[in-house]
């Protein structure tokens, strides 16, 4: 099965501490991490009640709306490295499998591009459960949310109906029966 996730474009939810930790774990230079954190956390607020200004406070999550789209996409990919790590750990434990595009090709479990995420796995109840657990953990740590109602699942023609029903009921996503396009290219290529 392949699932195209719709990540909620709610950048106000991204946890800055999570983003900082991911950059450190990825080996970014401390100076660079500090600079990025200053760029996204420079905003501060003051609440005015009955004409009297309160104390200045700074938020601990979310991005300033004026940050350039390229930076948004880059920060999303850095945040997504957290999800990528969870998936890699599940694969190392043997609890999650990807798909092979050919018999001798590499196993692919996920693809990330800009603010899009496509996950691949077994179309079984166990596969769907592991996937859902990884996504829940990612949501709790990063603040990012998957919009399951707008996410789409694709099945191989070899998938039996019982497995489709079980995975759909667990993941609660839309099932695609037509060959939709992504970046102008078909999502599914058939022989």
The predicted-structure confidence for 32-83, as pLDDT tens digits, reads as follows 999 888 777 766 667 777 888 877 766 655 555 545 555 666 777 888 899 9
pTM above 0.85, yes or no: no
Which residues share a beta bridge with 146? 7
For 96-180, list the strands marked E by DSSP. 110-113, 116-120, 152-154, 174-175
How far lies 178's CA from each of 52, 120, 148, 189, in Å?
58, 18, 19, 12
**How many Cβ atoms sit within 10 Å of the Cβ of residue 149?**
9
């Amino acid at each position: 099965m392949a699932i195209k996730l719709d990540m909620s474009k709610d950048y106000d939810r991204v946890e800055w501490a999570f983003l900082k930790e991911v950059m450190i774990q990825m080996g970014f230079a401390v100076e660079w991490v500090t600079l990025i954190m200053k760029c996204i956390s420079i905003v501060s607020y003051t609440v005015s009640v009955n004409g009297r200004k309160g104390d200045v406070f700074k938020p601990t999550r979310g991005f300033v709306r004026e940050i350039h789209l390229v930076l948004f996409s880059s920060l999303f990919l850095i945040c997504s490295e957290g999800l990528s790590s969870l998936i890699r750990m599940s694969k190392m434990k043997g609890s999650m499998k990807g798909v092979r595009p050919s018999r001798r090709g590499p196993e692919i479990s996920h693809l990330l591009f800009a603010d899009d995420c496509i996950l691949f796995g077994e179309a079984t109840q166990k596969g769907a459960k592991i996937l859902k657990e990884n996504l829940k953990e990612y949501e709790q740590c990063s603040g990012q949310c998957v919009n399951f109602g707008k996410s789409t699942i694709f099945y191989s023609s070899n998938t039996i109906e019982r497995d489709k029903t079980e995975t759909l009921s667990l993941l609660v996503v839309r099932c695609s029966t037509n060959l939709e396009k992504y970046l102008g290219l078909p999502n599914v290529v058939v022989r």
